[in-house]
Structure 1
Amino acid sequence: LGGKSPMIVMNDADIDKAIGGAVTGMRFTRQGQSCTAASRMFVHADVHDAFVAKLREKVDAMVMGDPLDEKTDIGTIISPEQFAKVKSYIDHGKGEAGAEAVECSAMPTDEKFKDGLFVQPVVFLGMTNDSKLAREEIFGPVTCVIKWTDEEEVLAAANDSDYGLAATVWTNDLKAALNFTEKLEAGFVQVNQNLVVQPGLSYGGVKQSGIGKEATLEAMLEHFTKKKTIIFNKT
């Protein structure tokens, strides 16, 4: 049922590990077409610039091209309709006051791909959590990196969403990690990693990201079956 999953990076986080988590978490290899995509990255002001520089370098190194070629890192958008939707969000973001669109990687140059549904990953800077791009699910390779300094304010911003599917926290401070994981309004929260749903791992969201869990036997029994009490009285 969708998501607008926050990724919160503290000033004491391992930046290289966080960058790996950002690339994996945004599912750039799927052109961002994932309900758990880390499409809101809240990065502490102390490490914001270094984070953005390393994220850009990492995504720039990814190859766009034929999805069936093993050398390809990034394929295409799934349909012309979704392609148009993603492009419209990017155009809207470029028109927002104070926004900066950092376009990464490079479009394939082979002539046979000229009509392909390729979109360069875009990292938007200078936006707030009130931006349309930070509030609505795009389902494309578009993320917003939002600078923060106050823990209570960033927690409130992360929770200020109609969605509540997934969230990640990046820090070496155990107390801070426990505080954020307790207060984040999301059904699937991770610290210092951004894995996709795994077999046997209960998975699901809250708010408009759905009701109930899946991916485990217990979750399936609880949410995909109905209990019935039957009593026989032998006459």
Structure 2
Amino acid sequence: MRTKDIPDGILPKQRELYYGGAWHAPISGAYADTINPAYNEVITQAPVAVAADVDAAVRAAHLAFPGWASIPPAERARYLRRAAAVLRDHAMPLAQLDALNNGNPVSALIQDAGFAADCLEYFAGLAAEIKGETIPMGDGNLNYTTQAPLGVVARIVAYNHPFMFAAARLAAPLAAGNTIVVKAPDQAPLSILRLAELVGEIFPPGVVNFLCGGRECGDAMGKHPLVRKVTLIGGVPTGKAVMRTAAEHLKPVLLELGGKNALIAYPDANLDCLVDGIIGGMNFTWSGQSCGSTSRVFLHESIHDQVLDSVIRLLPERHKPGIPTDPKTTMGSLVSLAQLQKVEHYVKVGHEDGGRLVCGGKRPVDPVLKDGFFYEATIFADMHPEMRLAREEVFGPIMSVFKWTDENVLFDQVNSVEFGLTGSIWTQNLNIAHRAAKRMQAGYVWINNASQHFMGAPFGGVKQSGMGREECFAELLEFTATKNVNIKLG
């Protein structure tokens, strides 16, 4: 869909910042173009928040905090369920908006509103479960704990699922009694503005607040003395910057960062299912722009050639780049020219380091796609762990394939990277599956599956893939502090 062909009801009507229950022009007067990556053309302009805007939004959230925290949990849950219902009602236009602004296929993005609504409903159901405990102290004392909300929470979300991340990550902090300020990704901010239009008025003024902006906006959120916790979905360099800023203020963080995730296939794997898992686990639908993508595939030598041949044959049929707003498209574009150039750089690196290109490796020849940031699904074989492409996160549609024989050497190689977000293991032997899951250094492991999330199952990484867990009860507790109360009895 070209910008000039966007139908009514897709784009947000507002082009301002939302905080304190109202829309505000950016204090600096700055706006920035936001583009349609399928055609590299401007859609509209989005406001750019600077430190002064952040201060205004955080103070509005801080002012609203005591009132929101005092609302009974069951009442807070009703607010979350109302928001979830609104998201379900607007699922298709929200998917179309993100497809326009970040390049992912609308046919897959339609699930994002449902997942966000699921999160809101899940945490609504947990709002009354934030419980303390009593601790025996003898006859002379009564001792108990409570879980108190923190205050203002800053949420910085990524561009690959901007609407879903922003909406879903409202749930746990709000259910726990916190107020929230969300920063949209500068590459794809429009669906966050639309989210503010849809749910802003559901909540009391100042409870939910939405900003657009770049690095200054994010830095100011981390530094603001009234922000009690900062969370990020993004890359490792950004995560380190957030953590440095937070450390200066002794502020807790929750980070979901990058991945260089491994898929391990044993000789007894169901090969048809394995091939599907390899293709699906790389998230080529999103052009590989997913922290959880299994971009390193380790195939046992006995099945290596057969499986690789099947993947090479099927991949171009299943994931051919196309216009993101076309319902038939199964692989969209990269989000920006910078991301396209990064992918092209790593293809060059793969060649230089001795990898064997067996699929893709170039921009598509379809003239319809000539102006956009498209790249073919790409596979390098004959990879070795010391290669840069085998160690560094691309966040693009490049898969590396390795051949293994010795299990001890295999896990040395799998665990040699500084990432540890997800992993996938394929075997029909229960003993092998449990042993391999224990040895894999990752926060979220699939066995005979890949890429799927399950509400209530803790998602998060180890090593440089982040800290903290989301999509589960533990996420709710991330936004509370334990308070101990001791009563001396007369």
What is aligned with 1:95? 352
**How far apart are residue 197 of structure 1 and its match?**
2.0
| Higher mean C-alpha displacement, 110-119 vs 171-180 | 110-119
Match for residue 199 of structure 1 among 455, 459, 463: 455
Letter paired with 2:398? V
TM-score for both structures, normalised by structure 1? 0.93
Are 1:85 and 2:368 counterparts? no
1:8-157 equivalence runs, <5 A: 8-62=264-318, 63-97=320-354, 99-104=355-360, 109-157=365-413
Q: Structure 1: where are the runs of 5+ without partners?
A: none
Amino acid at match of 1:174: L
Shift of 1:48: 0.5
The structure-2 alpha-carbon separation of the partners of 1:79 and 1:234, relative to structure 1 and needing over 3 Å to count, comes to farther
The answer on whether the counterparts of 2:353 and 2:388 sit within 8 Å (CA) in structure 1 is: no
Q: Which amino acid aligns with 2:428?
A: N
C-alpha separation in 1, matches of 2:361 and 2:467: 37
CA displacement at 1:2 relative to structure 2: 0.6
One-letter amino acid of the structure 2 residue matched with residue 137 of structure 1: E
Q: Secondary structure at the match of 1:147?
A: strand
What TM-score, normalized to structure 2?
0.46
Answer whether contact 1:64 1:106 (CA < 8 A) is retained: no
Larger C-alpha radius of gyration, 1 or 2? 2
Q: One-letter code of the match for 2:476?
A: L
Q: Residue 109 of structure 1: CA displacement?
A: 4.9
More moved, 134-143 vs 193-202: 193-202
Structure number with higher relative contact order (C-alpha < 8 Å, ≥ 6 residues apart): 1
Shift of 1:111: 2.9
For the residues of structure 2 that align with 1:234 and 1:180, how far apart are their CA atoms? 54
Percent identical: 36
Answer yes or no: is the 8 Å Cα contact 2:262–2:424 preserved in 1. yes
How many residue pairs match? The answer is 233
The 3 A distance-change label for structure 1 pair 68 and 8 is same
CA positional deviation for 1:110:
4.6
Q: 2:293, 2:451 within 8 Å by CA — same for their partners in 1?
A: no
Tell me if structure 1 keeps the 8 A contact 2:362–2:375.
no
Counterpart of 1:58, as a letter, is L
| Larger helix percent | 2
Instruction: Name the SS for the 1:227 alignment partner.
Output: strand
Q: Secondary structure at the match of 2:273?
A: helix
Q: Which runs of 5 or more residues in structure 2 are unaligned?
A: 1-256
Asked if the contact 1:107/1:120 (under 8 Å) is kept, the reply is yes
- Where does residue 39 of structure 2 map in the other structure? none
**Deviations 1:1-22 (Å, cap 9, x if unpaired)?**
1111100001111111011111
Q: Greater CA deviation, 62-71 or 123-132?
A: 62-71
Residue deviations 1:135-157, cap 9 Å, x none?
A: 11100000110000011111121
Q: Which amino acid aligns with 2:382?
A: G
2 CA distance for matches of 1:61 and 1:221? 42
More strand by share: 2
- Whichever residue aligns with residue 475 of structure 2, its letter is M
Shift of 1:198: 2.4
> C-alpha separation between the residues in 2 aligned to 1:208 and 1:227?
27
Q: Which residue is 2:464 aligned to?
A: 208
